[in-house]
Amino acid sequence: MRWRVMVELTGQDGTVRTHEVSAGGNPTTEHSSATIGLTLADGKRTLAGLQDDLVRAQTEEYCRGRRRCPRCGSQRPLKDVRTRRLLSLFGTVEVRAPRFLPCRCGDEASHAVALHLKVRRPNERFQGLALALNLRICI
């Protein structure tokens, strides 16, 4: 008997992807207690394949959502794509994850600005720290 395990993934946009996770079987026609069911190796391979497919699909969907600018709705420019290792309960999955530049509309430019500390009445304790950190104290 031959068998196949397929996974069908439906994205938020309604696209359906079908992928074969694992296949196997026993070519002999004789069955015994040793040949019935999945072997441990088949079970581990099937579970690892399912985990790999799910994590990759979820990562792709997450990255597609993060690429869109929340302010103007356009796609942010791509900085680079790197391989990341995600540790899960069922093993390590390597995914290719993009990094994005800030949007050209300027919404994220405010997050990249250096921190400025403004204190109404500076305390003597903090003046030395402010000087050491090169911070501007406003009175």
The string of pLDDT tens digits covering residues 51-90 is: 989 888 888 888 888 888 888 888 999 899 999 898 877 7
Residue 119's pLDDT is 42
Residues 12 and 34 in one domain: yes
Residues 11 and 70 in one domain: yes
Cα 87 from Cα 32, distance rounded (Å): 37
Per-residue pLDDT at 138 exceeds 50 = no
Task: Count up the domains in the chain and report the number.
Answer: 2
Task: Using a pLDDT cut of 90, give the percent of the chain over it.
Answer: 6
Instruction: Dig out the tokens for 62 from the structure.
Output: 């997450």
Residues 120 and 58 in one domain: no
Cα 128 from Cα 121, distance rounded (Å): 14
Phi, psi of 64 (to 5 degrees): -60, -40
pTM as predicted? 0.63
Phi, psi of 97 (to 5 degrees): -115, 125
Residue 26's pLDDT is 72
Range of the domain at 132: 108-139
